[in-house]
């Protein structure tokens, strides 16, 4: 691996950090290592693989606000297995780009300040991204860093789709539908064009179903509408997030309910969704294995809201050629795919049960009016490609 340029990517969640290490040959990126840290674990553990090895490492580093110790030890592991002297740049997934960023950018003082200003719009994820950028600056100050934004993919949506029915002045102040999971949808759109060219220009709904979950309407691979709006709370229920909620509920909780703003925020982000409805678990796999009626109700509600959102997005598209399942639940849980598809049978959508159980790429029956696909997503690959592109742009500057 000596002499081969490397790119490191960071995908910051609210309580986790995923990393990817990519080699760069003739401008093409190939993943050669990856890692993940669950920041809720005690002690902290680094799960890594690459260079023919897979390890689960207990970290000695303390979890500090600036993440310096954790990243220093993590980079140390990668340096012991790869030649990090060949590291050319570091790319970050940044959840919120607001209206300023419509594509990936090199991070300088100005862009970092703008990213930081958007923290109030994504209070769970944005601070983590900012901390990672600042930590890499402190540990490897000469490295080029780049940001790829989850919201940028949805900038193609019309103002009509992005607008809330509130006084117009708030739209101008930035209170609008932004949409998220854009890196995932960008990757899936590319895979659709590559693997299923007949659907390249079609009307497609992609369901990104993980602990965070949303759906996106694509026409010709371009975002037309999406379930998440101003925040990552909107849309369908998620592992611990509520999804779409009557604003009157929030008014009630903070009025007669007597909850503070912080308490409501914690309830909606951390105590709701599958966890809140089931009272058992935020993990759809655990709920599927349970015989408790509350677990079944949580999964039924999940499927109902997903199917309803597919129908809404099909209305935005004016039709539906394909439904794509992706991300952790979408890729690995046939029961959820089956429950959603059953509720969409009125659209002429029919699953092949055996293909669904095998996690085939095409899981619709031959006579289905809507093609149903399972396509793995890869946000880290998008970040790596963005980073290499920006690195080359920088190199070409006089």
* CA angle (59, 46, 17) in 5-degree steps: 115
As given in the structure block, the two tokens for residue 83 are: 């030649």
As given in the structure block, the two tokens for residue 2 are: 């000596």
CA–CA distance, 277 with 256 (Å, rounded to integer): 22
- Tell how far CA 70 is from the center of its chain: 23
* Strands 28-38 and 45-50, bridge-based pairing: antiparallel
Which residue in the block uniquely carries the two structure tokens 């860093």?
145
Count of positions (residues) in the chain: 398
The answer to whether the CB of 346 falls within 8 A of the CB of 334 is no
Q: Three-state DSSP class for 49?
A: strand
The CA-atom distances, in angstroms, between 333 and each of 187, 192, 284 are 20, 21, 8
92: β partners: 10, 147
CA–CA distance, 334 with 64 (Å, rounded to integer): 39
| Cα first-last separation, the chain | 30
Q: Cis link prior to 43 (omega < 30° from 0)? A: yes
Which one of 72, 99, 150, 360 is the catalytic residue?
150
The answer to whether the CB of 179 falls within 8 A of the CB of 235 is no
For 160, half-sphere exposure in the C-beta direction (CA atoms, 13 angstrom radius) is 2
DSSP tag of 364: B
Residue 150 known to be catalytic: yes
**Active-site residue set:** 150
């Amino acid at each position: 691996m000596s002499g081969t340029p490397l790119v490191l990517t960071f995908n910051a969640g609210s309580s986790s950090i995923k990393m990817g290490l990519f080699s760069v040959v003739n401008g093409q990126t190939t993943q050669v290592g990856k890692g993940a840290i669950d920041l809720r674990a005690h002690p902290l553990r680094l799960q890594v693989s690459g260079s023919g090895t897979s390890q689960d490492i207990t970290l000695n580093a303390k979890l500090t606000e600036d993440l310096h110790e954790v990243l220093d030890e993590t980079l140390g592991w990668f340096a012991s297995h790869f030649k990090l002297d060949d590291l050319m740049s570091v790319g970050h997934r940044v959840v919120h780009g607001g209206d300023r960023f419509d594509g990936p950018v090199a991070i300088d003082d100005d862009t970092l300040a703008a990213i930081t200003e958007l923290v109030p719009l994504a209070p769970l994820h944005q601070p983590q991204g900012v901390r990672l950028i600042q930590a890499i600056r402190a540990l490897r100050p000469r490295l080029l860093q780049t940001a790829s934004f989850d919201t940028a993919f949805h900038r193609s949506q019309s103002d009509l789709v992005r607008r809330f029915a509130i006084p117009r002045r708030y739209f101008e102040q930035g209170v609008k539908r932004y949409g998220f999971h854009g890196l995932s949808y960008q990757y899936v759109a590319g895979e659709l064009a590559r693997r299923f060219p007949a659907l390249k220009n079609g009307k497609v709904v992609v369901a990104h179903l993980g602990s965070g979950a949303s759906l996106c309407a694509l026409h010709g691979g371009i975002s037309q509408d999406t379930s998440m709006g101003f925040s990552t709370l909107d849309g369908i229920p998620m592992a611990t997030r509520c999804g779409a909620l009557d604003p009157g509920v929030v008014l009630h909780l903070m009025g007669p309910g007597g909850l503070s703003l912080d308490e409501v925020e914690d309830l909606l982000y951390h105590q709701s969704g599958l966890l809140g409805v089931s009272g058992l678990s935020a993990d759809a796999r655990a709920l599927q294995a349970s015989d408790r009626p509350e677990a079944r109700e949580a999964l039924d509600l999940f499927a109902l809201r997903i199917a309803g959102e597919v129908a809404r997005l099909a209305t935005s598209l004016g039709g539906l050629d394909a439904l794509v399942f992706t991300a952790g639940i979408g890729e690995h849980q046939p029961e959820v795919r089956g429950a959603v598809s059953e509720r969409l049978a009125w659209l002429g959508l029919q699953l092949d049960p055996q293909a669904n159980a095998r996690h085939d790429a095409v899981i619709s029956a031959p006579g289905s009016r809507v093609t149903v696909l399972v396509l793995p997503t890869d946000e880290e690959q998008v970040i790596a490609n963005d980073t290499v592109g920006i690195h080359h742009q920088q190199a070409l500057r006089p």
